[in-house]
Amino acid sequence: MTKNSDSRDTEAPADSRGVRARIVQECDAIKELLLSKNESYGNSIFDPMRVFSKADVKEALLVRIDDKLSRVARGKGISEDTTLDLIGYLILYRIAVAGPPDAEPHPFRPPIDLFSVSAPRAESRWDWRVPG
């Protein structure tokens, strides 16, 4: 711990407060959750049954992310499950963008800009209002 010019203690570096260990712990928990769900659901994200939807993997993930964010925006709150699902979907989206597992590995992939994904224009959406 250090003292600043007016003799008050300043905050210690993040690692000395256990932040690094918590990051590792959270990432490990997310990893285990994703692996467990992938096994339980039979790799349904990357190898879907295609009963109804014909959307590609990236589009299907964006729809799931949209659905989660829509629930939050409509006042359903942000539970731990919602947070974990969103983190998981975003990781899976990064995997989908990177390409198939046998693709050349990249030493560094820049962060995915989710805001560059174009949303439908307002006039192209369904109007669910009841006439009259």
Q: Is residue 117 part of a domain?
A: no
Residue 99 is predicted with a pLDDT of 83
Q: Is residue 115 part of a domain?
A: no
Give the C-alpha separation, 6 to 49, whole Å.
65
Q: Are 90 and 65 spatial neighbours (Cβ–Cβ below 8 Å)?
A: yes
Residue 38 is predicted with a pLDDT of 93
Q: Is residue 113 part of a domain?
A: no
Residue 123 is predicted with a pLDDT of 45
Residue 2 is predicted with a pLDDT of 47
Radius of gyration of the chain from Cα atoms? 21
Q: Is residue 32 part of a domain?
A: yes
Q: Is residue 114 part of a domain?
A: no
Model pTM score: 0.66
Give the C-alpha separation, 53 to 56, whole Å.
9
Q: Is residue 124 part of a domain?
A: no
Its domain, for residue 40, covers 16-100
Angle, nearest 10°, between helix axes 80-98 and 19-40?
Answer: 80
Domain count, the chain: 1
Residue 114 is predicted with a pLDDT of 54
Q: Is residue 24 part of a domain?
A: yes
Mean pLDDT for each 10-residue chunk of the chain (132 residues)?
50 73 95 95 90 92 95 90 95 90 60 52 46 50
Q: Is residue 77 part of a domain?
A: yes
